[in-house]
């Protein structure tokens, strides 16, 4: 199988997701949050770069359309799972995120069978950008707390959980808008 550069970057992001989670969970590793921050940041940058390259070089492929959202979901879900371990994410936030992702993926599969295209909307991009940005900030602050006792950890847990609920809100909104768009163009009776 031959990959173009945008698809190769997407595949690299897929493989970076579990590597990121290993580093995040490795509490015995000095500066595990810093290493996680670096890996996650690089993976997030590949999300921006692969899309730009694909559009610029006319290399948008069906494989890329399938793998890119999968890679995003793997990376952001890995972050939320890791954050749960440290008390930085509520389980209900993860449930909202996963429910949205499974729902949208299911609708995409139905749309594909019916040869219907439901274009990505700005809310999905905002959702992903918010997930990635907040995750990066949380890891950076966690590293600062570990090294410099930047703030009391309990305040950090509260701030992180507020950020996670903001993510959940954007996730819910983007999913609801996607479902509304789908209902208008998909025949669910088939």
Residue 101 is assigned to a structural domain of this protein: yes
Burial 63-85 (b: 16+ CB within 10 A, else e): ebeebbbebbbbbbbbbbebbee
Task: Give pLDDT, residue 10.
Answer: 94
Residue 190 is assigned to a structural domain of this protein: no
Q: Which residue range(s) make up the domain with 81? A: 5-185
The pTM is what?
A: 0.91
What six digits make up the tokens of 121?
A: 């909307």
In CATH, what number is assigned to the domain containing residue 46?
1.20.120.1760
Residue 156 is assigned to a structural domain of this protein: yes
Residue 80 is assigned to a structural domain of this protein: yes
Number of domains in the chain: 1
Over residues 50-103, the pLDDT tens digits come to 988 888 999 888 888 888 889 999 999 999 999 999 999 999 999 999 999 999
């Amino acid at each position: 199988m031959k990959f173009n550069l945008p698809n190769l970057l997407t595949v690299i992001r897929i493989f970076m997701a579990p590597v990121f989670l290993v580093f995040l969970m490795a509490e015995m590793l000095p500066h595990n949050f810093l290493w996680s921050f670096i890996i996650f940041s690089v993976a997030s940058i590949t999300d921006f770069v692969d899309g730009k390259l694909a559009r610029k070089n006319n290399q948008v492929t069906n494989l890329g359309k399938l793998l890119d959202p999968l890679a995003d979901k793997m990376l952001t879900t890995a972050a939320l799972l890791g954050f749960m371990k440290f008390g930085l994410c509520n389980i209900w936030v993860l449930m909202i995120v996963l429910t949205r992702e499974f729902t949208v993926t299911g609708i995409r599969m139905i749309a594909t069978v019916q040869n219907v295209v439901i274009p990505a909307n700005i809310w999905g991009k905002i959702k992903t950008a918010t997930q990635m940005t907040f995750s990066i900030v949380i890891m950076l602050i966690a590293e600062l707390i570990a090294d410099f006792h930047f703030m009391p950890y309990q305040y950090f847990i509260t701030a992180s959980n507020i950020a996670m609920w903001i993510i959940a809100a954007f996730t819910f909104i983007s999913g609801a808008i996607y479902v509304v768009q789908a209902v208008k163009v998909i025949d669910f009776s088939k």
